[in-house]
Structure 1
Amino acid sequence: MWVAIVVAAGEGRRMGFKKQFLDLAGRPMWLRSVEAMISGGADEIVVVASPGDVHRMQEEARVAGRELHFAEGGETRHASVVSGVKCALELMARHQVDPARSAFAIHDAARPFVAEEDVRRVFEAAIRFGGAVLGTPCRDTVKRVEGGLVQETVPRDNLFLAETPQAIRADLVSRVYLERPYSADDSPTDDSGAMEAAGVPVVAVTSTAFNGKITTPADLDYARWLARERWGRAEHADWTRV
């Protein structure tokens, strides 16, 4: 069983609005990310949302004809993922599947363009090795800077830029997410980091296509353009009314 946990609990402080609701060719961005995970083979989807957004997302999913599960986000990204993981564990227990043959993949709602084949490869790698992270080998020259001055050039041969999804085999989930409490100050910034800290081997899976994260206002125009190129002007529900 493959469960995708789509983290869509952001408050939009950097953007000035909640970017998970950005319209991309007739779908809100969070739903595009959900559909990418479904296309990649996910059997169940858990969406982690801010408590105030759950009803809106449930309605948007209903309009789109998607049956999804929802969990409420926490104070940090890791806390939000833990909430999603607990929901995913309940689903797995309900289906009575073998944890050693199941995996959870955590994906940022702000990465709607991930390739379905890459999603599938991450799930498969997690089941085989324990953990997996999608990403891209570093191609740029990297500088370490302190106080505005370059201190050194960092060798890039072994550097890997992490993306999502990042997946874990289900029989290792408790060890990483339930047995290791984190405070807001020491919370891991991604799931691969949490797996590494718990001693879970993590395989680097190289992206085969653009999987950029929509993070700043400068990303918006490119995201809208790429959405039109990829999906055209899909049938457009009026998302402002659901």
Structure 2
Amino acid sequence: MVVFTDDILLNQLRRDGPKIEESFDRLCADDLSKLSSLLSKSTGLVYSGLSVATQKEDELRSACAQLLLNAANSFAAATAVLRMGYVLQPGIIIRSLLEAVSTTLHLVQHPNDLTAYQNHTLQSPKTIAAAKKALPPFGQLYGHFSDSFAHIGQLHKSITPIRVFSERHEALEVNLSSLRIAAWLMYVTAELVFNELVTAPRYWHPVDQGYKYEPSEEEKEWMKIFFQMSDAI
């Protein structure tokens, strides 16, 4: 006999949740520290940029800042959900975050579309195309999160139990990798939007009529370590 009581949600939040979060913190302390550091850089830059944009009545960059700050909240939510033991749901949130990033990258390249954005008529496919133009890997990342999370993917087809993290299993590693990607995309986008506020840009450098994505060799080495991969993006 299996008995379902009416306090399942309460138990998950109040009884089991803290234990799961503690187990996550033990396993992933270094990951959390690195993610927090990069997110702090992005958020600090965006808040500074929003202040300048507000003073100058720059509607375009104010809109971009709002998008990125909401994306930062989505990032924190995805991290919190993973920390509570949910391994499917963080990807769904990150997929939404990518929409904010793509819209920001589109507006930077096509400022005349600000009115369409404000009127809710700016279409997602259009923003994705602009994001791919600025950052070619974006298309592949967006496709992955769409296929795996926004649509019914492999994780939807199996039960994902909510339990204490006893090891760094595959689902956990995939989610941590997704968070690293999301944190990096937010920083790179913030640096492009508010490039003049960055003393030593890491990715974008001014050229005629715009900016060029050109990370230094030192930055590429950092990226390899951060992403835990052999080649930088």
Same structural fold, with TM-score higher than 0.5 when normalized by the shorter chain: no
* Structure with the largest fraction of strand: 1
Tell which structure's C-alpha radius of gyration is larger: 2
Q: Calculate the TM-score normalised by the size of structure 2.
A: 0.31
Q: Calculate the TM-score normalised by the size of structure 1.
A: 0.30
